[in-house]
Chains A and B, each alone.
Chain A
């Protein structure tokens, strides 16, 4: 297993376009998380899955954002009608739950989105 993989690494898009990011977690992990990080700030929670079930969505996640994890493996995060305020690093992480199993979180390298 090569860790958590995110694609693409960078995405530049025009305002109003739709974008989709992919995350491949560590295969043994049952939880997958999406976070967003803007420059100089700590990451903010967006949503998470346990297996294929989406258990929680942040109020930060407007109707333009949707995430899926159809078979409990990889996940996609789609942003529709992008706005300049969506420009950020989108981080994916995976873990065991409960936390007593495993060694905590493993993060991907992130997808940096720039909306022009």
Chain B
């Protein structure tokens, strides 16, 4: 079992829909990261969370430390949101290097 699990693996939505991507982890962490990767490889850091909730534009990230679960929400989705979204954690025992989930491929159709 992977230490970081994401669901769903693939998600197709219509433009304007509300989208949720989930992440569960099984280890102690110092922070959880949501990352976005477009075709061609570049990774952009969206959020770093250690508790509660953060919002940036149409993106919202929440984390429940007790349940070891995080969600990434996209409101009013747009085709330009199409990308791979990756959940990653910094483990308490390993400093700040990241352990990654396998990613969620999001496709938003116009």
Contact = CB atoms under 8 A, between A and B. Distances in A.
A binds B: yes
Interface of A: 31, 33, 35, 37, 40-45, 48, 55-56, 89, 91, 93, 95, 97-99, 103-110, 112
A54 to B, nearest CB: 12
A55 B4 CA distance: 23
A109 B40 CA distance: 8
B102 A42 contact: yes
B45 A106 contact: yes
Interface of B: 4, 30-31, 33, 35, 40-45, 47-48, 86, 88, 90, 94-103
Given A43-B100, A95-B96, A110 B41 contact: yes
Given A103-B48, A105-B45, A110-B41, A55 B95 contact: yes
Contacts of B42: 107-110
A104 B101 CA distance: 17
B30 A99 contact: yes
A56 B97 contact: yes
Contact of A98 (B41, B47, B96): B96
Contact of A97 (B33, B43, B45, B95): B95
A110 B40 CA distance: 9
Contacts of B88: 42
Given A41-B102, A99-B30, A48 B97 contact: yes
